[in-house]
Structures are given as structure tokens and as C-alpha cells.
Amino acid sequence: MATPSVTATSRPYGLFALIALACPLYVIMIVNALTTRAGGGEDAFGNAFEALFVTTGLWILLAIMVIVAAVTGAMPRWAAVAAVVLIPLSGAAAFVAIDMCSRNMPAAVAFPALLPPILVGYAYWTRSKPLHDRLPPQQASLLAWGAVLALSLLPMMLASVY
């Protein structure tokens, strides 16, 4: 199966704008995960609603970034199919990990902290001809989506044990 080549030489300003929108949500999600505790008192519902809103918004932006990158850049077809499955799975894993943080497992913040940079990096790689020349599409896609799969399944498996 042929992989489309990256021909765009323009800078991905749209991707940069989406990244700028996602950064505050990313920071708020991490801070919220680290400061929310089980039985968090009278504002526990407000904190849970904020976590839901912020994390959902962030994952919607991440999905848009990957979609835009797939349309305007070069991504193997199988990677696009993997993205359709793995982006929602990674969002669910982020919620599981944030819940784990609220149950006094602060190390679980590593999962939602690592997933967005991988997705953003892959979206940028998809649009970048110099990066395509250094790291071929099959290898880059396998590396990125393999990492997303692992970081999505691990919190779910850990949450079922603890």
C-alpha cells in the first residue's frame, strides 16, 4: 500500500493554532489530576465536572489535530484507521488515570501527561517533510500508535487491579 508523500512546504499554522488552544487545557488537566482527591469535600462535583469538560475538550482538539494532519499531510491508511480507534481509547484511558489520581495514585498522572504530546508530535510529523525524510511513515506510525496503545491499556489494566 502506497503512502502519500508530503508535498506541502508551508508551515502548519492551523496545527500551531490548535496546539496553542490545547496547551491551557493540557495544563489544567494535569493540575486538576494532581490536586483532586477522593472524597474531595463540598466541591467534589465541581472538580469532577471541570475534569470532564477540560479532558473532553483536550481530546477533541487532539482528534482534530490528527484529522487535519491526515488530510493535509501524509499518513499511512492503516494509521488513520488506528487513529479512529486509539484516540477515543486514549481519552477513556485519560479519564481512568485521572480517577486513579483521585484515589491517591498520583503516579497515574503520567498516562494523561504523555498521551497528548505523542499525538501532537505525530500530527506535526505527519505535516513535516524533513521529519518524513528522517523517519519513514511506517516506522513513525508504528512507534506513535504503539505508544498510544500501550499508554491507553496500562491505566485500564492497573485500575482493574488496584
Query: Region 7-35: what's the mean pLDDT?
Result: 87
The reply to whether 53 falls in a domain is yes
The reply to whether 147 falls in a domain is yes
The reply to whether 101 falls in a domain is yes
Q: Quick one: CA dihedral 73, 57, 116, 138, positive or negative?
A: negative
The reply to whether 46 falls in a domain is yes
pLDDT at 38: 58
Please check the confidence at residue 6 and state whether its pLDDT lies above 60.
Answer: no
Query: Region 110-121: what's the mean pLDDT?
Result: 97
* 136 SS3 class: coil
Identify which has the larger pLDDT, 88 or 128. 88
If 0-12 CB within 10 Å is exposed, 13-18 middle and 19+ buried, where does residue 56 land? middle
**Confidence class of residue 1 from pLDDT cuts 50, 70 and 90?**
very low
Query: Region 94-122: what's the mean pLDDT?
Result: 93
If 0-12 CB within 10 Å is exposed, 13-18 middle and 19+ buried, where does residue 70 land? buried
The reply to whether 50 falls in a domain is yes
The reply to whether 4 falls in a domain is no
Structurally, the chain folds into a number of domains equal to 1
Structural domain of 53: 13-161
Q: Which residues of 120-144 are buried (b: 16+ CB within 10 A; e: fewer)?
A: bebbbbbbbeeebeeeebeebbeeb
The reply to whether 132 falls in a domain is yes
The reply to whether 87 falls in a domain is yes
Indicate the average pLDDT of the chain.
88
